[in-house]
Amino acid sequence: MKIDFGMTRIKLSRLIACGFLLLAIANIMPYGYYSFFRIPVTIISVINAFHVFKKNKILFIIFLVIAMLFNPLLPVHLNKEMWVIIDLITGLFFGVMVFIKINGKDEDRSPTKAAGKD
């Protein structure tokens, strides 16, 4: 059994989104951070949605809902307590998705890369 901790680009994007979201829960950042972090979380959600589109429709919908919820153009206004819960759940979701293989395949690796022939 081989454990591969290789960080693909898609997994790295999920880890970055996880970091942004969990940092938001700490409530130590200035107000501008909360407006700014919507941008990368939305972009990463859209990229991930397109990445899983043909592989898993449920994940596709989840990533699109996250993108709509965090989009900076038409912001959703909720109270602080609700945002803490949403940030926590979404951050954990992105964190778990770093380690999940969709349809039993390594995500953005071609067969030659996965076999180490690249």
- Would you write out the chain's pLDDT as a tens digit for each of its 118 residues? 334 556 788 899 999 999 999 999 987 888 888 889 999 999 999 999 999 998 999 999 999 999 999 999 998 999 989 999 999 999 999 999 988 877 655 555 444 444 454 4
Residues 6+ apart with CB under 8 A from 60: 49, 52, 53
Looking at residue 3, its pLDDT comes to 43
**CA–CA dist 25, 12 (Å, integer):** 20
What ranges do the domains of the chain cover?
9-114
Looking at residue 39, its pLDDT comes to 95
Q: Of 16, 10, 11, 21, whose CA–CA distance to 66 is shortest?
A: 21
pTM of the model: 0.79
Looking at residue 112, its pLDDT comes to 41
Q: Of 17, 12, 105, whose CA–CA distance to 62 is shortest?
A: 17
